[in-house]
């Protein structure tokens, strides 16, 4: 573990005016709070916050960010409180630590509806202070560097979340080095064989051709010396995951890949960047279509550089990036460059983007988007897409994702322009609205009064902003007529299965389908975006015919146990087929099966020898898995009988029932129901929630019950 004085020395290297006493105080406080806590590897837990702080010193960040890194787990994992951190270190640091704690608790790899809501919270936290996500990214980077000590299943879950969310986010923020390392560390877990094969091929290639990187670097330096240009030249083979992705995207074997080497030229001025470009294109043949000038057309995160691909030695393609030293600082740190220090003062880098403006451009278009699927689609398009740069007739630059059309361009300018668009001109020539735009084109949109978005436009546009605006317009147009038609369709569909389309039933169906409310559901029914059959099946799937599925032996529903090894489900979490599970061995009791998110598992984290990797047998399980439901119902005649009948209609059996609380108007009771699997549980709960006499319903888990 890095000593406190060594950490302070790392900060002093770029900020001699650092508040060393405050960092020292935070170090000692964090170490005290984490006393007795260990990581999965057996190391003292405080080694992790210190390592996160050290990673952030590489970005030359301010004292508040470094101290936040040292304290980022104190509020969540120790007796420390927000008030105590604020009193000792100030309100700013307390807010940052609290922000990191909230991010840590977000389940970003959960179900789509919940994932969309958590993405919203992620963006809100970023908008308050982007340093929160900088600490979180450094936290994830260190966790990925030390991931080998985790159980295999946890490694895979963390690596997938990192690959899907944190690596693209680092890239979107301009921290390309972090994105590449996060991707490669995830690749090592998710596809170790694929990564090893890439590395073996690199070794073979180097043995056959020698050190290509060294030779090409020397060639570039020689040409620059001849031209009298002072510059630093660096070269490297691309990361294994980057090579693997190219192989998958282009469906090519390794031997047919060309640009697997990358080179960077760092100059003293912008003018020298273009001089270097001229020297390289004179010496080597440029590859058509592989030139990008991000100096004259910077990315939204402040990234500036010239990219060109040329045919080098033996016809091998190599990519060359050319930028100034200041541009390189932003390219390395991305949006984080705003907080960088140099010689004790905030670095005044003219290319560092204002984080507040950057995050506003990322979040403003999602504010009114209530549809979970649309929001998730929008934010992922923003995070993952490469960009093209087009010009307005006045010469302003509009940034769009690759594959964008004139319609995307129109909606990027203003929703009103997009809704009234009838045609477009690209470089003065009229083109169809589905034309894919290219870098440097000038776009003119032609509008007309009375024009409205058409349903076919959804398939033409690629940006989340355009898709959301078109869908919203289509739904709002004639919405009243669609709602009336939807009411009639719902009434007929529910009567067909002997049910009533009450407001509560429709509201429950809307929530289950991820819609705003029952009015939105009826509008989609009337517009044929949603079928009445699907709405009914959402609430009462047991009324639909089911295909025959192989029955699972009720005595052996779990895979991963030794023959005749005794086992039973944990009383605390009552896992059912379809949920992810793990086994814990008990002397004399065999294996107790817990759901993977059961809080009771925390006490076994330091006893990996007791964990057993399990999963449910595929097929149709018998309805023998008891689950407790906590219900609050109206105290009216016949209510309990109707609800018991409803549970029976879902092919579920009530094995026990007892009252917890009796009031003049309501009863609270625990009902134990025997179920097949998690789908069956969802069916029963959805059917009960749709009943107007059920005031509250939740799955009851009693952690005080012994496993």
Phi, psi of 408 (to 5 degrees): -60, -40
Out of 44, 77, 488, 693, pick the active-site residue: 77
Write out pLDDT tens, residues 59-96. 888 899 999 999 999 988 889 999 999 999 999 999 88
Where does residue 80 fall: left (phi above 0), alpha (psi -120 to 50 degrees), or beta otherwise? beta
Alpha-carbon distances of 405 from 416, 419, 432, rounded to whole Å: 17, 14, 9
Q: Is the pLDDT of residue 374 over 60?
A: no
Per-residue pLDDT band at 107 (split at 50, 70, 90): low
Q: Name the pLDDT band for 547 (thresholds 50, 70, 90).
A: very low
625 strand-pairing partners: 675
Q: Are 331 and 264 in contact (CB under 8 A)?
A: no
354 SS3 class: coil
Q: How confident is the model at residue 162, as a pLDDT?
A: 87
Place of tokens 């012994």: 706
Token pair belonging to 244: 């693997």
Closest Cα partner for 312 from 265, 264, 259, 267? Answer: 259
Q: Hey, which residues does 622 pair with through a beta bridge?
A: none
- At 294-314, the pLDDT tens digits run 888 887 777 889 999 888 656
Contact 575, 595 (CB under 8 A): yes
* CA atoms within 13 Å, Cβ hemisphere of 410: 29
Give the residue, 337 or 370, on which the prediction is more confident.
Answer: 337
**343 noted as active-site residue:** no
**Which residue in the block uniquely carries the two structure tokens 């489900």?**
569
DSSP, residue by residue, 553-578: PTT--EESPPTT--EEE-TTT---TT
15-24, 414-423, 524-533, range with the lowest pLDDT? 524-533
Average of pLDDT values for 684-691?
Answer: 83
CA distance 337 to 351: 9
Report the relative pairing of strands 345-346 and 341-342 from DSSP bridges. Answer: antiparallel
Is the pLDDT assigned to residue 439 strictly greater than 90? no
Higher-confidence residue of 662 and 337: namely 662
What pLDDT score does 334 carry?
A: 72
Say if residue 110's pLDDT is above 60.
no
Lowest mean pLDDT among 104-118, 204-218, 434-448: 104-118
**Per mean pLDDT, which range of 157-171, 205-219, 592-606 is the poorest?**
205-219
Length of the chain in terms of residues written: 707
The yes-or-no answer on residue 77 being catalytic is: yes
Asked if residue 625 has pLDDT above 90, the reply is yes
Q: 545 pLDDT band (50/70/90 cuts)?
A: very low
Question: Could you tell me the pLDDT band of residue 402, with boundaries at 50, 70 and 90?
Answer: confident
CB neighbours of 517 closer than 8 A, spacing ≥ 6?
Answer: 507, 510
At 613, give phi and psi (nearest 5°): -75, 115
How is residue 174 written in tokens? 């301009």
Which residue in 359, 474, 360, 372 sits closest to 418, CA to CA?
474
Residue with tokens 């406080």: 29
* For residue 355, pLDDT beyond 60: no
Average pLDDT over residues 273-295: 89
Q: Report which DSSP code applies to 165.
A: I
Rounded average pLDDT over 669-681: 89
CA–CA gap between residue 507 and residue 342 (Å, rounded): 57
Task: Please report which helix (H) or strand (E) contains residue 614, including its range.
Answer: none
Q: For residue 630, give the 3-state DSSP assignment.
A: strand
Closest C-alpha to 453, from 424, 468, 473: 473
| Alpha-carbon separation of residue 498 from 206, 486, 543 (angstroms) | 73, 18, 10
HSE of 120, CA atoms in CB hemisphere, 13 A:
17
pLDDT greater than 50 at residue 622: yes
Q: Which of 76, 117, 184, 529 is catalytic?
A: 76
Type and span of the H or E element at 252: none
At 627 the three-state DSSP class reads strand
Compute the 3-state secondary structure of the chain and give helix, strand, coil in percent, each to the nearest 5: 50, 20, 30
Inform me whether the pLDDT recorded for 602 exceeds 90.
no
CA–CA–CA angle 205, 209, 211 (5° rounding): 90
Q: What is the DSSP letter of 587?
A: T
What is the number of H-type helices and E-type strands within the chain? 28, 22
Instruction: Please indicate whether residue 177 or residue 249 has the higher confidence score (pLDDT).
Output: 177
The answer for residues whose C-beta is within 8 angstroms of residue 705's C-beta and 6 or more apart is: 571, 572
CA distance 263 to 309: 10
In the sheet with 567-569, reading across from the earlier edge strand, the strands are 567-569, 590-595, 581-586, 611-613
DSSP 166: I
To the nearest whole percent, how much of the chain has pLDDT over 90? 26
Q: What is the pLDDT of residue 26?
A: 94
The set of residues, in sequence order, having a beta carbon less than 8 Å from that of 536 and lying 6+ positions away, is 493, 494, 496, 497, 499, 543, 544
Asked if the model's pLDDT at residue 444 lies above 50, the reply is yes
Among positive and negative, which fits the CA dihedral 154, 156, 157, 158?
A: positive
Average pLDDT rounded to a whole number, residues 474-489: 76
What ranges make up the beta strands (E) of 204-257? Answer: 231-237
- Residue 559: pLDDT band with limits 50, 70, 90: confident
Cα–Cα distance for residue pair 509/521, rounded to 1 Å? 8
User: What is the sign, positive or negative, of the torsion defined by CA atoms of 5, 11, 16, 22?
Assistant: negative
Spatial contact of 38 and 62, defined as CB atoms under 8 Å apart = no
What's the pLDDT score for residue 599? 84
- Closest by Cα among 436, 446, 442 to 405: 436
């Amino acid at each position: 573990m890095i000593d406190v004085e060594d950490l302070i020395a790392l900060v002093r290297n770029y900020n001699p005016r650092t508040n060393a006493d405050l960092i020292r105080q935070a170090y000692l406080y964090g170490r005290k709070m984490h006393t007795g806590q260990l990581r999965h590897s057996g190391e003292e837990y405080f080694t992790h916050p210190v390592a996160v702080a050290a990673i952030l010193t590489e970005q030359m960040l301010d004292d508040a960010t470094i101290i936040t890194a040292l304290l980022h787990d104190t509020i969540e994992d120790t007796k420390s409180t927000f008030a105590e951190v604020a009193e000792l270190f100030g309100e700013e640091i307390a807010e940052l630590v609290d922000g990191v704690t909230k991010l840590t608790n977000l389940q970003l790899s959960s179900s789509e509806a919940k994932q969309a809501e958590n993405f919203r919270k992620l963006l809100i936290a970023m908008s308050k202070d982007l340093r929160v996500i900088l600490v979180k990214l450094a936290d994830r980077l260190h966790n990925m560097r030390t991931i080998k000590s985790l159980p295999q299943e946890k490694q895979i879950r963390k690596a997938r979340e990192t690959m899907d969310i944190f690596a693209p986010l680092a890239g979107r923020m301009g921290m390309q080095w972090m994105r590449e390392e996060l991707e490669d560390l995830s690749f090592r877990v998710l596809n170790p064989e694929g990564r090893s094969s890439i590395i073996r091929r690199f070794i073979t290639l180097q043995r056959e051709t020698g050190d290509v990187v060294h030779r090409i670097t020397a060639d570039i330096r020689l040409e620059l010396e001849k031209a009298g240009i002072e510059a630093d030249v660096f070269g490297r083979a691309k990361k294994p995951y980057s090579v693997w992705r190219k192989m998958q995207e282009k469906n090519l074997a390794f031997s047919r890949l060309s640009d697997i080497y990358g080179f960077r030229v760092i100059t003293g001025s912008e003018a020298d960047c273009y001089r270097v470009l001229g020297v390289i294109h004179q010496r080597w043949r440029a590859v058509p279509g592989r030139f990008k000038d991000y100096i004259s057309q910077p990315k939204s995160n402040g990234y500036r550089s010239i990219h060109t691909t040329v045919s080098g030695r033996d016809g091998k393609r190599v990519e060359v990036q050319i930028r100034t030293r200041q541009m390189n600082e932003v390219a390395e740190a991305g949006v984080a460059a705003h907080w960088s220090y140099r010689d004790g003062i905030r670095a005044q880098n003219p290319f560092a983007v204002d984080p507040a403006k950057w995050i506003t451009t990322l979040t403003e278009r999602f504010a009114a988007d209530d549809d979970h699927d649309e929001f998730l689609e929008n934010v992922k398009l923003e995070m993952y897409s490469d960009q093209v740069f087009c010009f307005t007739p006045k010469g302003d630059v509009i940034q769009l994702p690759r594959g964008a059309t004139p319609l995307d361009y129109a909606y990027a300018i203003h929703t009103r322009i997009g809704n009234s668009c009838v045609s477009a001109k690209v470089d003065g020539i009229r083109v169809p609205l589905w034309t894919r735009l290219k870098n440097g084109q000038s776009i003119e949109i032609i509008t007309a009064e009375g024009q409205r978005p058409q349903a076919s436009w959804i398939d033409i546009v690629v940006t989340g902003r355009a898709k959301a605006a078109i869908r919203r317009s289509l739904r709002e147009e004639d919405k009243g007529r669609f709602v009336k038609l939807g009411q009639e369709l719902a009434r007929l569909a529910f009567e067909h299965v002997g049910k009533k389309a009450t407001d509560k039933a429709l509201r429950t169906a809307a929530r289950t389908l991820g819609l705003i409310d029952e009015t939105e559901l009826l509008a989609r029914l009337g517009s044929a975006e949603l079928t009445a059959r699907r709405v009914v099946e959402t609430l009462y799937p047991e009324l639909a015919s089911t295909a025959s599925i192989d029955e699972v032996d009720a005595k052996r529903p779990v895979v991963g146990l030794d023959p005749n090894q005794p086992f039973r489900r944990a009383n605390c979490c009552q896992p059912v087929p379809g949920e992810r599970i793990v086994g814990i061995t008990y002397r004399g009791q065999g294996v107790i099966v817990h759901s993977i998110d059961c809080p009771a598992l925390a006490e076994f984290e330091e006893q990996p020898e007791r964990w057993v990797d399990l999963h449910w047998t595929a097929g149709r399980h018998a309805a023998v898995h008891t689950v407790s439901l906590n219900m609050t119902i109206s105290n009216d005649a016949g209510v309990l009988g109707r609800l018991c009948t409803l549970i029976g209609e879902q092919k579920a059996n009530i094995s026990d029932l007892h009252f917890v609380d009796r009031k003049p108007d309501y009863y609270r009771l625990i009902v134990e129901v025997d179920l097949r699997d998690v789908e069956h549980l969802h069916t029963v709960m959805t059917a009960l929630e749709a009943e107007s006499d059920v005031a509250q319903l939740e799955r009851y888990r009693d952690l005080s019950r012994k496993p």
